[in-house]
Structure 1
Amino acid sequence: MLGYQANPQWRDMSDFVVHFTKPGPPFGDAYQNMMNILGTRTLIPGAEGFGLARREAVVAERHRSVCFSEIPLDQLKRLVHRRSLYGIGFSKSFVLSQGGGPVWYVQYASPAHRALKHQVDAALATPEPEQHPLWSMTPFVDVQGDTHNAPYSYRFDWEREWRVPGLLRFTEYDVAVLFLPEEQHSIARDFFAWAVREKAGPGYFCPCLDPLWSAEQISDALARQGANPARLKTG
């Protein structure tokens, strides 16, 4: 089940993207934050925007996005260290169907950066800049640099990020996998069974994975529990 587009040898790629929660608002705890997302069936972007024109006041709201990573499911430890053990995984096809896509990393002061900056300036100079179609692209562009060649140090291409501008609404059938520590898997399954039985909320019966598991453990769990991105609902 690991690999890309039914090719198990392509282990550097993935059919999935994952959103990991962090401790902090609204509930203080990464697990409770994940359960709130699952209960409301909604991922809400943070207050800060992302992308090339995120600091342009007239279109800053357009750059608030929900973030994911396409790091393969058995190599997520570097994200866990920055966030938590709790995450929600979707198929790439679902995220694409919701207007999401991969981030394009360009280098500060490169020809690509200068050309894009020219386009941003031209769009802001139009009579109705907030209506310009360029803002459908700019949330997906990050400008990277180092202190020796840029006014900042910013390199996050290691996250292999995907974004969805704005809210992402989903159903329990759109979620491909859940990440949480192994000792909480049965607790989560029992809770979802109770929620469905009591009509208290949605039930998520997709595979539960521990992000610290080995590749073999993750592959076995995906095969046993039936996560297949080709069969997942995409709209």
Structure 2
Amino acid sequence: MVAIEELLHRRSDLSTFVVHFTRDGGGASGRDNLEAILHSQTIEARTVYGMAKRLAETNPDVADSQRTVCFTETPLEHAWMMCQDIDNRQIRFNGYGLAFTRTFTRKQGANPVWYLDISPGHDWLTTPVNKLVQQAVTDATPPGAPGPATDDLLASPILRLTPFMEQMGTPSGVRKEFWWEREWRHVGHFGFTPQDIVVVFAPEDDHNDLLRTIESWGEYFRVPAIVDARWGLERMIAALARVRDKGPFPT
């Protein structure tokens, strides 16, 4: 009898890892944001996602409960796809990021996103969720009160689920199809130690400078392997093994 763990390690279509790429924003570059994450050992949950997003727009406390950190489940050799300019994609990544094992992120409370189809004629899944959100507001609103009691609203079970629910489809002719990213989310800030990092991603021509920056933080920070998301798997393996001559040609 073979253990399922032994079989899954041979499934090339599944990944042991999740990746998180940074982007330019807040007056900082993608590299600046990566350095801030590494130095603080925290990925901050800054953005509201999920099916309570509209409610969060009018209620700051709800918004705080729906802010998440996003990851993509992907084999390392396919991480390059996340850094491509993709049509209709509003978010642009420039190659800076880091990877963790799914096992670690699950222990921290991350969970795969549940995608619900919103193509015309497929509202049978999103409609019940929206009704549950509205019912939570109704139940938390005392008679005669102008709005819901915050504590009662935040205690609603549906608001624990909504950060992990996202929509996919083509409503009103606007395509929203990112289910292929196999997204995972973590509600609230995501903490880690240097030992939890599998690899750090950065463009190859920036590796030496980034490495010097990380080393300047002191011995407390284990310097992780740095790879380029555009590399193939064997080049990444060579970097992870820290071999001196990575090839393919002598330099």
* 1:212 corresponds to which of 208, 217, 230: 230
Shift of 1:212: 0.4
Q: Counterpart in 2 of 1:144? A: 168
Q: Percent identity?
A: 30
CA offset digits 1:38-68 (Å, max 9, x no partner): 111111123x410011111342221111111
Aligned equivalent of 1:99, options 102, 109, 117: 109
Partner of 1:65: 68
- Stretches of structure 1 that go unaligned for 5 or more consecutive residues are 226-235
Asked if residue 17 in structure 1 is aligned to residue 55 in structure 2, the reply is: no
Q: 1:135 to 1:85 in 2, by over 3 A?
A: same
Look up the SS of the partner of 1:18 in the other structure: strand
What does residue 182 of structure 1 align with? 204
Q: Return the TM-score normalized by structure 1.
A: 0.81
1:124 lines up with 2:158 in the alignment: no
Distance, in Å, in 2 between the alignment partners of 1:129 and 1:33 is 33
Quote how far apart the aligned CAs of 1:183 are. Answer: 3.2
Q: State the distance in 1 between where 2:11 and 2:236 align.
A: 16
RMSD: 2.4
Report whether the alignment pairs 1:79 with 2:101: no
Any conservation in 2 of the 1:26–1:33 contact (CA below 8 Å)?
A: no
AA aligned opposite 1:16: F
Q: CA deviation at 1:17?
A: 0.8
1:191 aligns with 2:213: yes
Is the partner of 2:213 in helix, strand or coil? helix
CA contact (8 A) 1:5 1:15 kept: no
Match of 2:89 in 1: none
Letter of the 1:96 counterpart: R
Instruction: Name the SS for the 1:196 alignment partner.
Output: coil
After superposition, give the CA deviation of every residue in 1:136-175 in whole Å (9 maximum; x if it has no partner).
Answer: 1110000112035x7x532211222111111112221222
Q: 2:143 — aligned with what?
A: none
Deviation string 1:85-134 (CA, Å, 9 cap, x unpaired) is 11111111221122211111111244322232232222222122221122
- Give the C-alpha shift of residue 193 in structure 1: 2.9
User: Within 2, Cα distance between the matches of 1:126 and 1:147?
Assistant: 30
Residue 40 of structure 2 aligns with an amino acid whose one-letter code is: T
- Corresponding residue SS for 2:18: strand
Q: Quote the Cα distance in structure 2 between the aligned partners of 1:89 and 1:26.
A: 24
Pick closer, same or farther for the CA change 1:97–1:163 going to 2, 3 Å: same
* Secondary structure of the corresponding residue to residue 77 of structure 2: coil
Mapped to 2, the partners of 1:104 and 1:204 lie a distance apart of 35
Partner in structure 1 of residue 31 of structure 2: 31
- Aligned 8 A contact 1:31 1:86 in 2: yes
Matches of 1:164 and 1:21 in 2, distance apart? Answer: 16
Q: How many residues align?
A: 214
